[in-house]
Amino acid sequence: MIRHLSERIQDLFERYQMERNYLWILLIYAAAMIIAPLSVRMFLPALALIGGGLAIFGLLFFMKNPGIGFPIIAVSSLLIPFAISTGTQTRINITLLLVMLLLASWLVKMLIFDKLFSVLPSRAIYAALAFSLSVLLSFGFGQLPWYPTEAASLFAQLGQVLLMLMSAGAFILSASRLTNSRWLKWMVFSFIILGGIYAIGFSVPPLRQYVNRIFQRAVLDSMFWTWLAVLSFGQAWLNTKLKPSIRAIFALVSAASIYTVLVTKQSWVSGWLPTAIGIFLMLFLKKPKFAVVSAFLFIAAITIRFQLIQNYLFVGDNEYSLLTRVEAWKILFEIIGQNPIFGVGPANYYFYTPFYNILGFSVKFNSHNNYIDLLAQVGLLGTGTFIWWLVEIARSGFNLIKRELEPFEHAYAISALGGLAATLVAAFLGDWIIPFIYNVGMDGFRSSGLAWIFMGALVFLQFKTSKSYGQDQ
């Protein structure tokens, strides 16, 4: 019955050629995002009606037009405040909702219409699926009483599982459903333009209050600044098909983002260090001698003027933060030792930390480190599959840049490898790439979800440019 109804609706779509009319579809989405928060204040069933209708419409639409979903995600993540309350301190934001909707539309298409479940034969995708399975396995182990106290609530555990699974889901979705480079280009350019508006506005103090009112939480996170810097820098530098005026604008965006993390937010190591690493790798891939000389001069300069190191590493509360993090990691390895293979379950370790003394206090705390977070939550098995996943993403990227690519794709591949390097560093400095439910929280997925989509696009481009699906796999 469900399949029959879906086929009738799709026939109706095709009859009136609804898939070609993108403008009014986007208007419907925009209207829904405005109406829904208002309706919940007046009449709860109105929210259910709007949300249900929108979900069904979106499900069917994205089955036939998956590519347009990616620029919509980029715009929504930065601008749309809509989120669904969970009854706790965190909310399911628009980025999570759109990723779940696109995944659902893909699964419906495969299981109901195509009657075949298949994914691209990519090692990176296999690793992402293996990571997802390890998360579910660790969730089961998390129900065991590892300490004589209550663990995280079931809602918190499920929220953390959702963040982990949707990180993998966003990556697989991007690799499998972009369909052509046009949608990737629209997504990248939308992100650069909107992110550039914020970066430039933030760089001008009188404008800062206005851009902060318009943009959402994503602009506060490491993944936003690092990916904005590398993507805008790559397109301005390497995309020779762009008009000089556009390249100049993108160069300005890159300069504004780099200036913000290096100067305006110089005490924020999660901002400037990943960005610097990402830009350095891009330079090294294209101009290795120039990159090495630049790095040598930079290190020599900060060595001669040691005050520069202090300004960037030990300004503000960074010195105290480093001390507390090291002490926290020592304690977390004690917790990891309870179940090193599978972990103590998603989100649970936060409630076990008070059993240990940290600098004279018995308090709840998190690691501020994605790798240690994963060891505590999903153990060596989950962390191993996560590292395998990242290695395969890098492998896809390096395979891709060996091929002849059109200027946008070449610039993107170099930028995404820089973004990947930046992401690996940022993950060491905080829970930026898989947000921890009790720290960055679900709102962090607004930026981390975009990072996973950008990394998944490397696999998409690799298959798009392959002569056969088996090449380099």
Q: Are 231 and 192 in contact (CB under 8 A)?
A: yes
DSSP character at residue 84? E
**Under DSSP, is residue 148 helix (H, G, I), strand (E, B) or coil?**
coil
Say if residue 16 is exposed, middle or buried (CB neighbours under 10 Å; 0-12, 13-18, 19+): exposed
Number of domains in the chain: 1
Bridge partners, 452 (sequence order): none
269 occurs within a structural domain: no
d(CA 413, CA 406): 11
- Closest by alpha carbon to 163, among 395, 467, 13, 378? 378
- Tell me the C-alpha distance between 321 and 242, whole Å: 43
State the residue range of the domain holding 89: 2-118
DSSP secondary structure string, 292-339? HHHHHHHHHHHHHSHHHHHHHHSSTTHHHHHHHHHHHHHHHHHHHTTS
Of 212, 251, 214, which is closest to residue 233 (Cα–Cα)?
251
pLDDT value for 13: 45
pLDDT value of residue 9: 47
Per-residue pLDDT at 365 = 87
Whole-number pLDDT of residue 305: 55
Q: Is residue 389 one of the residues assigned to a domain?
A: no
pLDDT recorded at residue 418: 97
φ, ψ of residue 261 to 5 degrees: the values are -75, -30
Q: Flag whether 424 is in a domain.
A: no
pTM of the model: 0.87
Q: What local confidence, expressed as pLDDT, does residue 470 receive?
A: 45
In a domain, 46, yes or no: yes
SS3 415: helix
Inside any domain, residue 360: no
Q: What is the C-alpha radius of gyration for the chain, rounded to an integer number of angstroms?
A: 23
Angle in degrees, CA 313, 371, 130, rounded to 5? 150
Residue 31, domain member (yes or no): yes
| Cα–Cα nearest to 335, from 323, 353, 362 | 353
DSSP state of 92: E
Taking a C-beta distance cutoff of 8 angstroms, is the pair 352, 147 a contact? Answer: yes
Q: Are 90 and 442 in contact (CB under 8 A)?
A: yes
One digit per residue, the tens of pLDDT, for the chain of length 473 reads 545 545 554 554 444 444 454 555 555 555 555 555 554 454 455 556 566 666 777 788 888 888 999 999 999 999 998 888 766 667 889 999 999 999 999 998 888 887 778 888 999 999 999 999 999 999 999 999 999 999 999 999 999 999 999 999 999 999 999 988 999 999 999 999 999 999 999 999 999 999 999 999 999 999 999 999 999 999 999 999 999 999 999 999 999 999 999 888 877 889 999 999 999 999 999 999 988 888 888 777 666 655 555 555 545 444 446 677 888 889 999 999 999 999 999 999 999 999 998 877 788 888 889 999 999 999 999 999 999 999 999 999 999 999 989 999 999 999 999 999 999 999 999 999 999 999 999 999 999 999 999 999 999 999 988 854 444 44
Spatial separation of the C-alpha atoms in residues 11 and 284, rounded to whole Å = 52
| Residue 180 lies inside a defined structural domain of this protein | no
Longest Cα–Cα distance of the chain, Å, equals 74
Tokens of 328: 């926290």
pLDDT value of position 42? 47
Residue-wise over 229-239: b if at least 16 C-beta within 10 A, else e?
bbbbbbbbbbb
How far apart are alpha carbons 47 and 35 in whole angstroms? 8
Taking a C-beta distance cutoff of 8 angstroms, is the pair 434, 370 a contact?
A: yes
Identify whether 151 is part of a domain.
Answer: no
| Type of residue found at 457 | A
